[in-house]
Structure 1
Amino acid sequence: MTAPAPAPPRRSGRWIEHWDPEDKGFWEASGERIANRNLWFSVLSEHIGFSVWTMWSVLVLFMGPEYGLTPADKFLLTSVVTLVGAVVRVPYTFAVALFGGRNWTIVSAALLLVPTIAAFAVMHPGTSFSTFLWVGLLAGIGGGNFASSMTNINAFFPLRRKGWALGLNAGGGNVGVAAIQLVALAVIGASGGPRVLLGIYIPLIVVAAGCAALFMDNLATVKNDTGAAKDAAKDAHTWIMSFLYVGTFGSFIGYSFAFGQVLTNQFGRTPLQATYLTFIGPLLGSLVRPVGGRLADRYGGARITLWNYVAMAAATAALVVASLKQSMPLFVTVFIVLFALSGLGNGSTYKMIPGIFQAKALAKGLEGEAAMAHGRRLSGASMGLIGAVGALGGVGINLAFRQSFLSYGSGTGAFVAFLAFYGVCFAVTWAVYLRRAAGQAVTTVAAETKPQLSYAEV
C-alpha cells in the first residue's frame, strides 16, 4: 500500500500554505482581497524605510557653517548612505523567503529605529565628520526595505496585475522621499531643529512595525532558491535590466539626495528656500510610478522605457542650458520634469522584469503553470540584484555632482555626463528589446515560420 503523504507542517503566525493568484477563481474569491491588504501595509513600511534612507538629504540642509562641513563633504556623506542602501538590497531580497514576508517586514521596520535614534544622538555641531559617516552608514538599511517589499508583493499578484501592483508598491514607498522633505519644511518653518524631525519619525516606525504584525501574511509558497539566484545572475537580461534601472531609479534616488544641495550651493538658496522646492520632484516621481507600470501593462514596458529615455535626455539637455545661464526658474522646472520622468521609467522598467522571464519560459516550450512558475522563479530572484545595482546609480550621481562642484563650481559637468548616459540607455533598450522584435516580424511574414523570442511586449 502507498503510504499517505505527510501533512504540511503547521506553523505559528499568519502563514498561508496555498497561494495561486493565476487561478482566476481563487483570485476573485479571496486572493485579491488578501493581496491588496498585504500591499497597503507593505507600502506603509517601505514608505517609512525610504524616509529613513533619504533623511540625510534633508539633515545636511540643517548642517550650516557651524558643523564645519564643505559641499564636497555633504555629497560624500549622501553617497555613502546611498551605497549602503544599494548593497543591503541583496540580502533583504532573500530574507522574505527565509523568514516570511510578514515576519521580515516587522523586523526590517523595527530596525529603522537604529539609524534614527543614532542620528538623533549625534546631530549637533562639534560631531566629527567620521561620526556622521558611520551614522549615515546605518541609515542605509532603509534602502533595503524596497527590495524585500517588492519581492514579497511580486509573489502575491498574478502576472496580468504585476505592473500596477509593483508600481503602486514602489511608488507609495518612493513618496517617503517627498514626505520627509515636507516634514522637514514644516519643522524648519516652525524654527525647529533636526532632532525634532527625527523625533517625529521614531513613533511612525513603531506604527509601521505594529501594522505589519497585525495585518500582513507570510506565503509558505515563497522559498529561497539558490539555484534561481545563480540562474538569474548568469542571465544577461538581469544585468541589462540592472543597467536600465540605474538610469531610472538611480536617477530618482540620486537626484532626491542631491537636489537640495545643488540649489543651496549653485543658486545660493537657504535651507528653507530649498526645501520649499525639493519635495515637489520626488513627490511627482513617486506618484507617476504606478502610471509607468500601467502604461507598460498596456503598451509594453520596452516601448515606454525607450521613449522615456528620449524625454529624460531632452530634459537633461535643458538642465545643462539652465545651469550655464544660471536660470533658476528654468532649472527647477526642468528638474521637476526629470524627476517625473524617472518615476515613470521606474514603473515601466520593473514591469519588464517578470515579462522577460515569462517570455523566456514560453520560448523554452513551457506552457501554463510551468511557464508561470519558471517566470516567477527567475524574476523574483533577479529583482534583488536589479534593485541593488539600480540604486548604485544614486551613488554615481552624488559622486558626479561632488566632482563637478570641485572642478567647475557647479553641477553642469555632471549633467553633461548624465545626458550621455541616457543616450546609451536608449540605445541598449532599442537594440536588445525592440530592434530584434521588429526584425523578427519581417522575417516571420516573409518565411511564414513561427516567430522567435520577442520582448517587444514585456
Structure 2
Amino acid sequence: MTTTVHPPPRPGRWISGWDPEDEEFWERSGKRIARRNLALSVLSEHLGFSVWSIWSVMVLFLSPEIGLGFTAGEKFLLVCVPTLVGSLLRLPYSAAVARFGGRNWTVLSTAVLLVPTLLALHFVRQPGTPLWVFLLIGALTGLGGGNFASSMTNIAHFFPRRHQGWALGLNAGGGNLGVAVIQLVALLVIATAGSTSPAYVAAVYLPLIVLAALAAALGMDNLDVVRGAPGAQRDAVREPHTWWLSLLYIGTFGSFIGYGFAFGLVLQSQFGFSALQAAGCTFLGPLLGSLARPLGGALADRFGGAGVTCWNFLGMAAGTALLLVASGQGSFGLFLAAFTALFVLSGLGNGSVYKMIPAVFAERAAARVTAGADAAGAFAEARRLSGAVIGIAGAVGGLGGVLINLAFRASYGGPAASGDLAFVAFLVCYLGCVVLTWACYLRRPAVAVREVAGA
C-alpha cells in the first residue's frame, strides 16, 4: 500500500503521514523534501556550534592589553561553562522537537542566538569587565550547543534507515564545522585588525543568524510523526543501550568539542604561543574532524557501527600516547600531528556511534517482527526511541567536553604546568571505550550493531 503524505499546509507547514521507508514515496517526493530540510538544518546547526564555541576564540583575545587579563585557569573555566550548559540543554531541546515541531523549533532556537552574540559584542569592548559577566555570557552561548540535539532528532525522522548514517553524519558534520569556521574568523580578525578587536568576531555572526532563522521559517517543515512521540525520553532512560552508547559518545564527541574549545589555550600554555600563533593552528583539527564525521557514518553504514567505533577508539588511544611522547620531547610538530589525528578520529567516531543508535533499535524491532510483532508498530517504536536516545547521548557526550577542559585546567594549573596528567587520563578513557564497545556490541552477536537490510 502506498503511503499518503499530505502536503504541508500554511502557515504551520506540518506534513502528515511521513514514511521514508516507502520507496515509491521516497523517490517521488520524499527525498527532495528531506534534503531541503537537511540543508537548512545544517545551516542553523552550524551557526549554533559557532556561537557555542565563540569563547574558545574570544579567550585568545583576553589580555591586559585590552583591559581583560585573566589567568590560564580562569580562561579554561570560561570555556567549560558553555560546554556544560550546552550539554545540559540538549535534553529539553531534543524534547522540544516533539512538542513544537522541527521547523518551528529551528526558527526559535536559531533566532535566540542573537542574545549571547550581542552580549559578547558589547562586553568584550568594556575594559575591566569582571570574569562573572563573561561566565554568564558563556552560559548563554550554551543555547547554541542545544541546537545539535534538536536538529539531529528532527533530521533522523526525515530519512529512511538505510540513509540515516549518511544524513546524520552530514547534519552533524556541517554543524561541527562551526567550531573550525569561527576559529578561521578569529584568525582573519587577528591578522587584519589585530588581537585587540574581539568584537569583530561576534559582529560577523549577527546577520548570518538572522538569515538562517528566516531561511528555516520559509523552507523547513514539521513532521507529525515527530510530534506523536510523547514520553520517549522517559522510556529511553530505562534502556541499558542508552547509557552504553552515551558513554561511547563521551569518548568521541566529548573529545571533539573539548579539544575544540581548549586547543588554543593548550598551545598558549604548553608552548607559550601568542594569540595569532594559536589561532593559526586551532582551525585545522576541528575542520578535519567535522569533515570526517559523515565518513564515519558512511563507514558504519557499510561495515557496522560497532566495528568502526572499536577500531576508532584504538586509534585515539594511540594518538594520545603520541601526545605524551611529543609533550615529553617538547616537539610541536609531533604534538600538532597527534592532536590533528585525534580530531579526525573523534569525528569518525561521532559518525559511527550515532549510526549505532538507530541501528541497535532497528535490529531489536526486526527481532520482534520475526517473533510475530506488527512491523509498522515495531519500527515506529524503534524510531521513537532512537530520536530520544540521540538527544540523551548528545547531552551526556557533551559533558565529556566539560571533563576534558577541567582535566586541562587541573593539569596546566599544577606544579608541572603541562598537559601530561590530562593525556594519561584520556588514554585510560579511550582504552575503556574499546573494552565497552567489544563487550556490549561485538562479543555478543545477538546485539551486534549493524543495519538490518530490508527490515
Q: TM over 0.5, yes or no? A: yes
CA distance in structure 1 between the partners assigned to 2:113 and 2:28 by the alignment: 36
Counterpart contact for 2:8–2:15, Cα < 8 Å? no
Residue 185 of structure 1 aligns with which residue? 187
Cα distance between partner residues in 1 of 2:387 and 2:203: 36
Distance change >3 Å, CA 186–CA 88, structure 1 → 2: same
Which ranges in structure 1 are unaligned for 5 or more consecutive residues? 1-6, 438-452
Identity of aligned residues (%): 60
1:322 matched to which residue of 2? 326
Range moving further from structure 2, 110-119 or 228-237: 228-237
**Aligned partners of 1:246 and 1:49: how far apart in 2?**
20
Choose the corresponding residue for 1:384, options 387, 391, 414: 391
Question: Would you say 1:269 and 2:273 are equivalent positions?
Answer: yes
The answer to whether the aligner puts 1:368 opposite 2:375 as a matched pair is yes
Q: What letter matches 2:151 in structure 1? A: S
Say if 1:16 and 1:217, in contact at 8 Å, map to a contact too: yes
Q: Structure 1 residues 329, 150: closer, same or farther in 2, change over 3 A?
A: same
Aligned pair count reads: 437
The answer to whether structure 1 residue 396 and structure 2 residue 395 are counterparts is no
How much has 1:410 moved relative to structure 2?
1.0
Distance apart, 1:214 and its partner CA: 1.2
Tell me which residue corresponds to 2:433: 425
Hey, what's the Cα distance between the residues in 2 that align with 1:92 and 1:228? Answer: 13
Q: Of residues 303, 306, 310 in structure 2, which corresponds to 1:302?
A: 306
Aligned to 1:113: 114
Asked whether the equivalents of residues 94 and 224 of structure 1 are also in contact (C-alpha less than 8 Å), the reply is no
**Shift in Å at residue 17 of structure 1?**
1.4
Q: 1:237-276 residue pairs with structure 2 within 5 A?
A: 237-276=241-280
| 2:160 matched residue in structure 1 | 158
In structure 1, C-alpha distance between the alignment counterparts of 2:331 and 2:301, rounded to whole Å? 38
- Which residue of the partner structure matches residue 42 of structure 1? 41
- 1-structure distance, mates of 2:307, 2:447: 13
Query: CA 1:67/1:8 → structure 2, altered by over 3 Å: closer, same or farther?
Result: closer
SS in structure 1 of the partner of residue 225 of structure 2? coil
Give structure 2 stretches of 5+ with no counterpart.
1-5
**Separation in structure 1 between the aligned mates of residue 412 and residue 431 of structure 2, nearest angstrom:** 23
Per-residue CA deviation, residues 347-375 of structure 1 (Å, 9 max, x unaligned), is: 00000000111112223333532332121
Q: CA 1:351–1:8 in 2, change beyond 3 Å: closer, same or farther?
A: closer
Q: Is the 8 A contact 2:257 2:401 kept in 1?
A: yes
Alignment of 1:62-141 (within 5 A): 62-65=61-64, 66-123=67-124, 124-141=126-143
Letter in 2 for 1:140: G
> Per-residue deviation at 1:454?
3.0
- 1:260-287, CA deviations, whole angstroms, 9 ceiling, x for partnerless residues? 0010111011111111110000000000
> 2:381 and 2:144 mapped to 1: Cα distance?
30
| Offset, 1:383 | 1.1
The aligned amino acid for 1:432 is: C
CA contact (8 A) 2:7 2:15 kept: no
- TM-aligned CA deviation for residue 9 of structure 1: 12
Q: Distance in 2 between matches of 1:224 and 1:170?
A: 24
Query: For residues 132 and 105 of structure 2, what CA distance do their matches in structure 1 show?
Result: 31
Helix, strand or coil at the partner of 1:190: helix
Instruction: Give 1:128 shift.
Output: 0.2
Q: Which amino acid aligns with 1:17?
A: S
Deviations 1:28-76 (A, max 9, x none): 0000000000000000000000000000000000011342310000101
Matched, 1:457 2:450: yes
Is the partner of 2:408 in helix, strand or coil? helix
Distance in 1 of aligned mates of 2:17 and 2:94: 21
State which drifts further: 405-414 or 103-112: 405-414
1:301-320: CA deviation from partner (whole Å, max 9, x where unpaired): 00000000000000000001
Task: Say if 2:198 is the partner of 1:220.
Answer: no
1:411 and 2:419 equivalent? yes
Taking only aligned residues, the RMSD between alpha carbons, in angstroms, comes to 1.5
Aligned equivalent of 1:333: 337
- The answer as to whether partners of 2:317 and 2:427 remain within 8 angstroms in 1 is yes
CA distance in 2, matches of 1:19, 1:225: 14
Q: CA deviation at 1:99?
A: 1.1
2:233–2:388 Cα contact (<8 Å) kept: yes
Mark the CA change 1:357 to 1:24 in structure 2 (over 3 Å): closer, same or farther: same
Q: What is the distance in 1 between the residues matched to 2:54 and 2:274?
A: 18
The answer to whether the 8 Å contact 1:358/1:374 transfers is no
Alpha-carbon shift at residue 18 of structure 1 (Å): 2.1
- State how far apart, in whole Å, the 2-side matches of 1:9 and 1:181 are: 39
